[in-house]
Amino acid sequence: MKKIINTPKAPAAIGPYSQAVLAGNTLYISGQVPINPETGKIPEGITEQTEQVMKNIKAILDEAGFTFDDVVKSTCLLASMDYFKPMNEVYAKYYAKDCPARAAFAVQALPLGALVEIETIAVK
């Protein structure tokens, strides 16, 4: 069974995709960029952008009835590996123990000029 998950507490999809899809007991969250859903704007700086991405992920997890404890895999995309350390410092606040598997790498560019995008998979 497949269920589309959407919440106004996270930015709307900016293309032909869903915020998240629940398939059985697995939640697939599309890559979240740091758009503040209330203002439609991206904050300045990698630390602030990572905080916003994590807030967006939390809103989607909440909507689907999941928590950060249910996350099993993250993929972190960065506009530069120079952003790895500050992104990691924010990320670590959300995953202090029993951390999910993760990949993190630099890409040539991210949507809307974002510095970070994080994709998430959670399982209950």
- Mean pLDDT by 10-residue block, N- to C-terminus, for the chain (124 residues)? 96 93 98 97 98 98 98 98 98 95 97 97 97
Measured at the CA of 54, the angle between CA 50 and CA 59, to 5 degrees, comes to: 150
pLDDT of residue 96: 86
Instruction: List the strands of the sheet with 20-23, edge to edge.
Output: 2-5, 20-23, 26-32, 116-123, 71-78, 101-106
pLDDT of residue 86: 98
pLDDT of residue 14: 83
Q: In CATH, which of 3.30.565.10, 3.30.1330.40, 3.10.20.90, 3.10.28.10 is domain 2-123?
A: 3.30.1330.40
| Residue 88 identity | N
